[in-house]
Amino acid sequence: MTNVSGETLRRRPAQRRSLERVERMLDECARLLDEQGYEALTTKEVAKRAEVPIGTFYQFFPDKQGLVRALALRNLDAFLDRITARLATAELSHWTDVVDLAIDEFVGMKRTTPGFAVVDFGEVLAAPGGPVLRGTERMLDAALENNVVVADRLRSLTIERAGAPAGPNLDRALLVAVEAADTVLKLAFRADRDGDPDLIAECKHLVRRYLSDHLP
Query: Residue 4 — very low, low, confident or very high, per pLDDT cuts 50/70/90?
Result: very low
Least confident of 37-46, 49-58, 119-128: 119-128
Task: Say if residue 3's pLDDT is above 80.
Answer: no
Round to whole Å and give the CA distance between 38 and 117: 11
Domain range holding 81?
Answer: 6-211
Q: Is residue 1 part of a domain?
A: no
Average pLDDT, the chain: 89
Residue 6 has what pLDDT?
Answer: 41
Mean pLDDT across the stretch 118-139?
88
Q: Is residue 137 part of a domain?
A: yes
Query: Residue 17 — very low, low, confident or very high, per pLDDT cuts 50/70/90?
Result: confident
Query: Residue 61 — very low, low, confident or very high, per pLDDT cuts 50/70/90?
Result: very high
Q: Is residue 192 part of a domain?
A: yes
Query: Residue 8 — very low, low, confident or very high, per pLDDT cuts 50/70/90?
Result: low
pTM, two decimals, is 0.89
Q: Is residue 152 part of a domain?
A: yes
Domains of the chain: total: 1
Q: Is residue 174 part of a domain?
A: yes
We report the CATH number of the domain holding residue 206 as 1.10.357.10
Q: Is residue 183 part of a domain?
A: yes
Greater pLDDT, 121 or 91? 121
> Residues 180-215: pLDDT tens digits?
999 999 999 999 999 999 999 999 999 999 999 988
Task: Say if residue 11's pLDDT is above 80.
Answer: no
Q: Is residue 15 part of a domain?
A: yes
Q: Is residue 179 part of a domain?
A: yes
Residue 14 has what pLDDT?
Answer: 58
Residue 164 has what pLDDT?
Answer: 67
